[in-house]
């Protein structure tokens, strides 16, 4: 007799096998879900107080996966596929980011006309991948109230990641060129990359420590004061061979301990107390490192918190949800008071837009190729083209959520009164 538990175990095993074949980490997707929910909640209701450490989680994850990709596609002989790497990064990140920037600016013309000019300038720097330096030079306060914050202030971490993606492959290329001239083995090539990564990470951490004390505002936005977080993930990628040897019984312990550190960071870090990025970012970074390390080679078996279907789907949505949630909060706060209608509108619109962007912008462009387009045209001519069920469900869900947000906005009791809000924004500056 097959029980429900047996079916659940079989379903989990199939999902795990599919993920391994696609080089897709279910636990990391769950980690992304934890990060975005914490960031969203902190921005919306100011709880958990340290929820903005979700951004630090994203940094470590990005450093790990990007370095892992480069190491898998690069040869010690000096061949680094720079063009393909940068094109792939651009295709994954820029379309959704551009759509949100343009939509935010257009919405600000209607809902925030008094600051639309400044929002336009913010949009240009966001599109140029220089948002962090722009907001630092403007004296932007990442703990500012909603009514004093730019609807694009949350683009600063995206700018840091993109700047990292530009220079990091060049470092690996330089090392590969040296290895090619000296005819070193792949093991020595990998060891050299690990040593260089460790040096860059240590230098960045040292600089972040100094600048957090000397100029905390600049330390918060400074790319080099944040590189150590991405470098921590990169170091994991260079040690993947060793980490894959971690015994299976140890993996769940490491993973759960990492989650505990992250949750503790969300609870104990006070965004008004200073000390960011150093020392406080060390806590979520260490937790994220443990979770990622625990899943190298084979994911831990007993990690339902991160590997369930809801968590992994939220992880899939995390990028789009991060991009839309803050503009929605800022723009709706200009027209609504803080009440149940406001929260319903923000949640429904944010998730509705995130679902739509993920399924109809992010995923299609990430998987785009001309052969598939030509085949789809042929299928449509012969009546053989069918939309996938998950796409239909996503379309219906997005439409229903966006409709709900419109209803909440239209039914709000304060629709004839000006709105005032005082919620914190994208992180914490000492």
DSSP string, 329-391: HHHHHTT--SSHHHHHHHHHHHHHHHHHHIIIIIHHHHT--HHHHHHHHHHHHTT-----HHH
| % of the chain with per-residue pLDDT over 70 | 85
3-state secondary structure of 25: coil
Q: With bands split at pLDDT 50, 70 and 90, how would you rate the model's confidence at 247? A: very high
Rounded to whole angstroms, what are the CA distances from 280 to 93, 267, 271, 417, 424? 28, 12, 10, 41, 18
- For 276-284, what is the mean pLDDT? 96
> For residue 181, what pLDDT is reported?
77
- For 190-207, what is the mean pLDDT? 97
Alpha carbon distance 208, 212 (integer Å)? 6
Q: With bands split at pLDDT 50, 70 and 90, how would you rate the model's confidence at 429? A: very low
Indicate the Cα dihedral angle 241, 243, 248, 250, nearest 10°: 170
> What confidence tens digit (pLDDT) does each residue in 292-343 have?
999 999 999 899 999 999 999 999 999 999 999 999 999 999 999 999 999 9
Domain boundaries, the chain: 52-301
Q: What are the respective helix, strand and coil percentages of the chain, to the nearest 5?
A: 75, 0, 25
Query: Where would I find the H helices in 112-226?
Result: 116-127, 131-137, 156-182, 186-214, 216-221
3-state secondary structure of 284: helix
In contact, 359 and 391? CB cutoff 8 Å: yes
Tokens of 181: 């001239």
> What confidence tens digit (pLDDT) does each residue in 212-222 have?
999 999 999 99
- For 258-265, what is the mean pLDDT? 98
110 class by beta-carbon count within 10 Å (0-12 exposed, 13-18 middle, 19+ buried): exposed
- Kindly report which listed range (121-135, 376-390, 403-417) carries the lowest average pLDDT score: 376-390
Flag whether pLDDT at 279 surpasses 90. Answer: yes
Flag whether pLDDT at 367 surpasses 80. Answer: no
Rounded to whole angstroms, what are the CA distances from 286 to 23, 202, 235, 280, 387? 23, 14, 12, 11, 42
- For 53-81, what is the mean pLDDT? 89
- For 238-266, what is the mean pLDDT? 97
Higher pLDDT, 253 or 1: 253
Q: Kind and range of the H or E element at 255?
A: helix 251-268
> What confidence tens digit (pLDDT) does each residue in 143-186 have?
666 767 899 999 999 999 999 999 999 999 998 888 877 778 88
Higher pLDDT, 403 or 378: 403
Q: With bands split at pLDDT 50, 70 and 90, how would you rate the model's confidence at 21? A: very low
| % of the chain with per-residue pLDDT over 90 | 73
Using only C-alpha atoms, what is the Rg of the chain? Answer: 22
Alpha carbon distance 52, 39 (integer Å)? 5
Flag whether pLDDT at 270 surpasses 90. Answer: no
Rounded to whole angstroms, what are the CA distances from 127 to 110, 121, 326, 386? 21, 10, 17, 35
Task: Identify which of 220, 173, 145, 164 has the alpha carbon closest to the alpha carbon of residue 76.
Answer: 173
Tokens of 411: 């039914």
Flag whether pLDDT at 18 surpasses 80. Answer: no
Flag whether pLDDT at 249 surpasses 70. Answer: yes
> For residue 179, what pLDDT is reported?
81
> What confidence tens digit (pLDDT) does each residue in 96-133 have?
999 999 999 999 999 999 999 999 999 999 999 999 99
Q: With bands split at pLDDT 50, 70 and 90, how would you rate the model's confidence at 26? A: very high
Cis amide linkage into residue 332, ω under 30° from 0: no
Mean pLDDT of the chain, nearest integer: 89
> For residue 97, what pLDDT is reported?
98
């Amino acid at each position: 007799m097959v029980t429900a538990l047996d079916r659940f175990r079989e379903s989990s095993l199939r999902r795990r096998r599919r993920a391994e074949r696609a080089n897709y980490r279910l636990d990391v997707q769950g980690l992304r879900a934890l990060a975005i929910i914490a960031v969203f909640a902190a921005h919306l209701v100011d709880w958990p107080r340290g929820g903005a450490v979700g951004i630090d989680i994203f940094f470590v994850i990005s450093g790990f996966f990007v370095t892992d990709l480069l190491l898998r596609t690069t040869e010690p002989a000096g061949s680094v596929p720079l063009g393909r790497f940068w094109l792939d990064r651009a295709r994954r990140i820029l379309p959704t980011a551009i759509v949100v920037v343009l939509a935010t600016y257009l919405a600000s013309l209607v809902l925030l006309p008094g600051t639309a000019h400044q929002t336009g300038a913010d949009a240009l720097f966001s599109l140029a991948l220089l948002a962090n330096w722009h907001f630092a030079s403007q004296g932007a306060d990442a703990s500012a109230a909603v009514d004093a914050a730019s609807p694009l202030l949350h683009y600063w971490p995206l700018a840091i990641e993109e700047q990292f993606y530009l220079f990091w492959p060049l470092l690996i290329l330089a090392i590969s060129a040296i290895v090619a001239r000296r005819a070193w083995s792949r093991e020595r090539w990998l060891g050299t990359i690990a040593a260089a990564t460790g040096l860059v990470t240590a230098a960045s951490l040292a600089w972040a420590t100094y600048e957090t004390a000397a100029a905390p505002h600049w330390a918060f936005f400074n790319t080099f004061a944040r590189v150590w977080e991405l470098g921590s993930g990169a170091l994991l990628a260079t040690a993947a061979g060793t980490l894959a040897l971690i015994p299976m019984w140890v993996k769940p312990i490491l993973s759960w301990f990492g989650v505990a550190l992250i949750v503790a960071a969300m609870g104990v870090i006070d965004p008004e107390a200073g000390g960011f990025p150093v020392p406080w970012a060390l806590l979520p970074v260490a937790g994220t490192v443990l979770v990622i390390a625990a899943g190298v080679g084979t994911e831990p078996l007993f990690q339902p918190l991160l590997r369930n279907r809801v968590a992994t789907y939220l992880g899939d949505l995390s990028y789009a949800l991060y991009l839309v949630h803050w503009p929605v909060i800022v723009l709706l706060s200009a027209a609504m008071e803080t009440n149940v209608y406001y929260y319903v509108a923000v949640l429904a619109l944010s998730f509705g837009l995130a679902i739509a962007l993920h399924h109809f912008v992010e995923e299609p462009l990430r998987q785009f190729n001309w052969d598939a387009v030509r085949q789809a045209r042929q299928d449509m001519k012969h009546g053989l083209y069918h939309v996938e069920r998950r796409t239909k469900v996503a379309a219906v869900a997005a439409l229903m959520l966006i409709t709900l947000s419109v209803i909440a906005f239209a039914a709000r009791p304060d629709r004839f009164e000006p709105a005032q809000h005082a919620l914190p924004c994208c992180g914490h500056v000492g």
